[in-house]
């Protein structure tokens, strides 16, 4: 583990210290609703992801492309478009819009954009886990699966105060993840499982 990563971890831990107490005092139903909404978010493309783009019955318009570090992708007759931060359907709509002028009647054949590799999806886990670090799962995962990548939590972890620090356009957002009803119970709470947030690229999971 590098000094830079350790410094990053310490900075995030300091940021979350003040927020943990406030999160613990939140109304349970409101917190569960907030987490559930987060978990239902559609996957958004990240730099480094590989996309399979195809236009129906157009052999020359079948491509496997990688999203560049600046978040863009290039496609024949379309040029460069923004990929990162968008869903597959949003990219499909942009391609259809760009291709419309290439067809006499403006009727563009079906365009399909599929994520073939989620190589750009990375997250980190720090705190009371067995193997803190940065991970690339290659698929969508929940916060519970994120902890499994880190080897699981140790016996002294405070499972009801786990938080996810997420980078957004407006700064850092703290998302609570209460896991004791899943990991420290004889009967798993189904509602708690359904409410688990889904990890997004750049997230940091902190286990106090």
Is 65 in the same domain as 143?
no
Is 172 in the same domain as 98?
no
| Listed residues 94, 117, 140: the one ending a domain | 117
| Listed residues 67, 100, 117: the one ending a domain | 117
**Average per-residue pLDDT for the chain:** 82
Work out how many domains the chain is built from and give that number: 2
Pairing of strands 204-207, 123-127: parallel
Identify the segments of the chain with pLDDT beneath 70. 1-41
Q: What is the pLDDT, as a whole number, of residue 24?
A: 45
Is 14 in the same domain as 99?
no
Q: What is the pLDDT, as a whole number, of residue 28?
A: 43
What are the pLDDT digits (tens) for 177-208?
A: 988 888 887 777 788 888 889 998 899 999 99
Tokens 């980078």 label which residue? 167
How far apart, in Å, are the Cα atoms of 188 and each of 125, 142, 159, 184, 191? 23, 16, 14, 9, 9
Is 29 in the same domain as 56?
no
Domain that holds residue 78: 50-117
pTM: 0.64
Q: What is the pLDDT, as a whole number, of residue 184?
A: 81
Q: What is the pLDDT, as a whole number, of residue 41?
A: 59
By the 8 A CB rule, do 117 and 138 touch? yes
Q: What is the pLDDT, as a whole number, of residue 20?
A: 45
């Amino acid at each position: 583990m590098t000094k830079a990563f350790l410094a990053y971890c310490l900075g995030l831990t300091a940021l979350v210290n003040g927020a943990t107490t406030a999160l613990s005092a939140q109304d349970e139903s409101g917190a569960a609703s907030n987490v559930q909404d987060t978990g239902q978010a559609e996957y958004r493309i990240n730099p480094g992801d590989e996309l399979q783009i195809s236009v129906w019955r157009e052999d020359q318009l079948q491509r496997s492309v990688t999203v560049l570090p600046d978040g863009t992708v290039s496609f024949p007759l379309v040029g460069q478009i923004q990929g990162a931060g968008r869903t597959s359907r949003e990219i499909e709509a942009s391609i259809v819009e760009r291709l419309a002028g290439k067809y006499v009647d403006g009727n563009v054949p079906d365009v399909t954009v599929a994520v073939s590799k989620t190589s750009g999806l990375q997250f980190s886990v720090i705190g009371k886990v067995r193997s803190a670090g940065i991970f690339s799962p290659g698929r969508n995962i929940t916060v519970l699966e994120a902890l499994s990548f880190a080897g699981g939590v140790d016996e002294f972890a405070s499972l009801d105060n786990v938080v996810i620090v997420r980078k957004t356009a407006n700064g850092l957002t703290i998302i609570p993840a209460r896991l004791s009803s899943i990991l420290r119970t004889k009967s798993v709470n189904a509602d708690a499982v359904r409410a688990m947030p889904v990890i997004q690229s750049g997230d940091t999971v902190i286990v106090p």
